[in-house]
Structure 1
Amino acid sequence: MFKAPYPPYDPTDTSGYETVVKRWPIILTNIIDHVHRLLHDMTLEAQQAHNSDASKVEELSKKVTEGQEIISEISRLKYRMARDHELEEIPQDGDILVAEYNADLESLKQTSQNTWFKAPWLYAEYRLIRTYFNQKTYWRGFDPFSTPKEEMFKSSGTAIYQIATTMHELESEKAKLQGEPDKLEVLFKEMIQMCLWLDLSLLTHLSQSDIEHLQTVGKEAQEARTEFILKDDQAAVWSYIKTLANQGKRLDFVLDNVQLFTDFVFADFLVTYTPYFSQVVFHPKLFPWFVSDVTPTDFAKTISSLLSTTFFPQHSTTSPDSVAHLQQMVTRWQNYIDRGIFTLATDISNGQKMTEFWNGPWPYWNMNELAPELGQWLSGSGLVIFKGDLKLAGDVKWPVSTPFSTAIGPLAGSFPLLSLRTNKADVAVGIDEKVAEDLDNRDEKWRVSGK
């Protein structure tokens, strides 16, 4: 397997310490609070059903007891994390990658990296929390991040209606657009920047006004964002995409954090309004690898929520036309799903097994050794878009000017690859040293702020 020529980042440095001491405990506290609220609701429901449905009361009582046990387990984990205790083995919970995680943990023990402040970032994440839920009868497979995802989705209604109207306005231009690559390029850049910036994994850092600013769609916002883009290959990727015209190529989307809505919009644009792609395969995580990752359940819920006329709170600025435009657009997406034009990777042959790879504690450059079927699948793609994953370059202290193609190791040249990433971890490559030095002087947290 490929081994990077540089060490990983030290988890005890400034930004790593910030993650372990501040960000992770906040996330764990939010999970505890979320389960507490659910238990409160279940208790009320049991009281209301007390005299009418004994079996329901018994089931709710058992679920509440299990939920209380989960809260205790997460609280214990939070305590151990804050005190740099050793990471614990993953119990056999009937889910994926238990042996793989435990084998890596054994390797970390050999180098004394098996504590919360020393373990590599790619390892020390939420596989253990998955176990806490999986070992319970009534909580197995529960996504503790599902409610925050849904709440953020609901709060985005205004922007979603606006984007739906924008897509509707393209309908009248569709025939002309396919013959005018220059106009398509302008729209492509609009779509790609929308897809880049709507990454909601930094909910503990962004205010609502920050998020609303990032949801703005238009030339002015696009120009304002340009200064924040440190490595811009939009022209290069568009030049490549134009070579795919009328070949029926497949686009693969490796999903990361919600919002999935923007990924759907980008995919819709490329399939509906350009002659470059005829199918899109979306690759989810089987369970959240880091907070708000898109899962197969999220994929289905996104469509059903968008088709519901009551999902988004109605505002005075919401016009009936925009509501209709959203229904038309998402109905088209549902039609694409029904016809196999939009496909979830877990629904293709061997897709469930291939999808397991994304949840592993390893850099993606080990794909061909650890998931050869996945590597083979992606090698047949017209373009593979990765949403925001530091796992492409690994948790490695690369010199900032290291070419991206070097940092992704054996993946370079394996398939056409586009990475859309906002920096939320120290890893940064493909950036001029003088630019990085200037950023260090202006904002020491530029590598991790997501801006």
Structure 2
Amino acid sequence: MDKKMDLFQPPYPRYSPQNKESFAYTTLIKRWPSILTNIISTLSNETHKLHSSHDVNSEEKLEEGKKMIEKLALLIYEMGHGGELTPLENDHEPNISCYNDELSLWSPLQRKWTHANWLFAECYLYRRIRQVFSLTRHWRSFDPFFYQKEDTYRSSLGAIVHLAQALNSMVERTDLQVGYGSAGSPLEMAFLEMIQSDLWGNATDLSLLVDLKYEDLKQLQAVGAKAQAEQAKLILRNDLPKVWEHLKTLRGARVDVVLDNAGFELYTDLILADFLVSCTPFVNEVVFHPKSIPWFVSDVVPFDFTWAIDILLDESFFSTASPPPTPTELESLAVLATRWKGHLASGAFKLSVPLDTPLGGDTPTGGFWTTQYAYQDMPLVAPKLVEELGKSGLVIFKGDLNYRKLIGDAAWPPTTPFDTALGPLAGTMNLVSLRTNKADTICGLDEGVAEKVEAQDKDWRVSGKYAVISFSPKRIS
């Protein structure tokens, strides 16, 4: 980062753990130490396996594992004892200078974990976790969060099967597009169900649900028309009618999805993408944008993307689910996965980076998503990415972190127009943010909505119970 770069400055402060009533403070005190402790536990299990391994590299790998555990334990200590965010070491992977240059501009007080800009500190944390692995010889390709992603995917079987059967049925229909231009058409109703399923799929964010029992997932993954109707009441800003009207203007267009969580949420992203490609005349191609390193526990890396499709064809994967899938249900998953692999082969589904991109791999634009930058600064720091996304018929930003980055994680008044909060990004592309509320920042609400919900539920900003769907159209230049 150029230290003189004129980044966008919101007219309101960004959230920080300095405010002990904020979710940022709760994150520093509870969530981050819990996440780091889980990584240490995972590494301890892996190193334990090495004791009985016959791998010729096991001794060296074991020593590296022990040193990694020490580094992570030190990081927990720093957070809890007034430590500072220190410069990242050069591990020859992307996104070192962007963090270090900004840190160099801060005062010693600003660099303290207890006072730092929360958005920066959280992004920095995951880049620093990555560095613990990238500076090793034997652990560079190890994703410390994969086992959690895998377990939650398996635990989501009920919702996975339900959506597979619903979408397979839609794909087989020949009358779905009849009269789609009229209000309340079957295609519109199907679209609303698919996109709401994609919205609420974000409820399984592992970075936020670190203490959630897997059996509670079913309550967070309600699908079906009746459940969707009830959940729609919890969408505090709902621009879906605008999104639908925009979609109807497209023909054979491209849609981009800036991904959030792996596992069930990624599955719902694929469901929505398949619906758009297979059931509507609007979209011929969907481009998915993953992260380049393990990020915010459950975010999608390239391996997660192909694995989530391939594993649907492995009948043994869900065999330990309770209850296990029936032969009919397994067949519905196989039909779905086979169609998705066909979409990959034809180019209807694409990843924005090569499918075999390794963790930490350098790509022209893929690394931007793991910088600390708010998306308001995307036109300045990643103009080629903005230009590319501007070619898309619609860019879908998934989840809470993407929303926080879209509006800079600032303490905007809740009635601030969404386009105002987007700053320089507004008007550069057709974008919609699908976000369940899991952090304090929010904008775009009608007058009185925040006060009404606050009176009913003090945790409405962070609980994931409520959502916002915010649309911003591209300006015609």
How does the TM-score come out when normalised to structure 2? Answer: 0.88
Stretch moving more, 181-190 or 262-271: 181-190
- Paired residue for 2:39? 31
Match of 2:382 among 371, 375, 388: 371
- Tell me the amino acid that sits aligned with residue 192 of structure 2: K
1:362 aligns with 2:373: yes
- Paired residue for 1:52? none
- Paired residue for 1:148? 148
The 5 Å alignment of 1:22-421 reads 22-44=30-52, 46=53, 49=54, 56=55, 58-109=56-107, 112-125=109-122, 126-173=126-173, 175-181=174-180, 182-199=185-202, 200-201=204-205, 202-204=208-210, 206-244=212-250, 247-258=251-262, 259-313=265-319, 315-316=322-323, 318-347=325-354, 352-388=363-399, 389=402, 390-421=404-435
Shift of 1:216: 2.4
Change (3 A) 1:317 1:298: closer
| In structure 1, C-alpha distance between the alignment counterparts of 2:289 and 2:323, rounded to whole Å | 37
For structure 1, the 5+ residue unaligned runs are 50-55
Secondary structure of the structure 1 residue equivalent to 2:248: helix
**What per-residue deviation string (whole Å, max 9, x for no partner) do you get for residues 352-394 of structure 1?**
2111111110101111111111011011000000001111111
| In structure 2, C-alpha distance between the alignment counterparts of 1:446 and 1:427, rounded to whole Å | 11
| In structure 2, C-alpha distance between the alignment counterparts of 1:255 and 1:180, rounded to whole Å | 32
Shift of 1:233: 0.8
Percent identical pairs in the alignment equals 43
- Paired residue for 2:3? none
- Tell me the amino acid that sits aligned with residue 383 of structure 1: L
Change (3 A) 1:84 1:449: farther
Matched positions, count: 436
CA contact (8 A) 2:318 2:325 kept: no
CA contact (8 A) 1:363 1:391 kept: yes
For structure 2, the 5+ residue unaligned runs are 1-6, 356-360, 466-477
- Tell me the amino acid that sits aligned with residue 386 of structure 1: F
Change (3 A) 1:368 1:300: same
Shift of 1:157: 1.7
Match of 1:5 among 7, 11, 20: 11
CA contact (8 A) 1:306 1:327 kept: yes
**What per-residue deviation string (whole Å, max 9, x for no partner) do you get for residues 153-212 of structure 1?**
111122212221112222331x21122321111111111111111122232254445420
**What per-residue deviation string (whole Å, max 9, x for no partner) do you get for residues 386-438 of structure 1?**
00111111111111100111111111111110100011111110113422112
RMSD of aligned alpha carbons: 1.8
| In structure 2, C-alpha distance between the alignment counterparts of 1:281 and 1:39, rounded to whole Å | 38
- Tell me the amino acid that sits aligned with residue 256 of structure 1: D
CA contact (8 A) 1:254 1:387 kept: yes
How does the TM-score come out when normalised to structure 1? Answer: 0.93
Secondary structure of the structure 1 residue equivalent to 2:29: helix
Stretch moving more, 117-126 or 249-258: 117-126
CA contact (8 A) 2:319 2:325 kept: no
CA contact (8 A) 2:259 2:289 kept: yes
Higher fraction of helix: 1
Shift of 1:325: 1.3
